């Protein structure tokens, strides 16, 4: 009787798919964080917080306004 040779092509395909998925995740993650390096997010946050603080302080009454002076 002849021995049956095991076919490993299925495992090569599975390994290639796993490697492809890992490569795709790494490339997409790099592209996703690209905007963080430009500093646009930090400047936008600073502008937003300054507007919130300005609105917050303009809505508060001063001690003179409360006392009626």
From first to last of its 69 residues, the chain has per-residue pLDDT tens of: 567 777 889 999 999 999 999 999 999 988 777 766 667 777 888 889 888 888 777 666 565 566 655
Can you give the pLDDT at residue 39? 72
Six-digit token string for 27: 């490339």
CA dihedral 5, 6, 10, 14 (to 10 degrees): -140
Give pTM, 2 decimals.
0.44
Q: Between the CA of residue 19 and those of 12, 13, 22, 31, what are the distances in Å? A: 10, 10, 5, 19
Can you give the pLDDT at residue 62? 61
Can you give the pLDDT at residue 67? 61
């Amino acid at each position: 009787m002849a021995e049956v040779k095991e076919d490993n092509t299925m495992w090569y395909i599975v390994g290639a798919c796993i490697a492809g998925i890992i490569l795709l995740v790494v490339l997409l993650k790099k592209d996703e964080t690209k905007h963080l390096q430009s500093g646009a997010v930090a400047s936008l946050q600073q502008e937003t917080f300054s507007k919130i603080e300005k609105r917050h302080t303009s809505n508060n009454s001063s001690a003179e306004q409360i006392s009626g002076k």
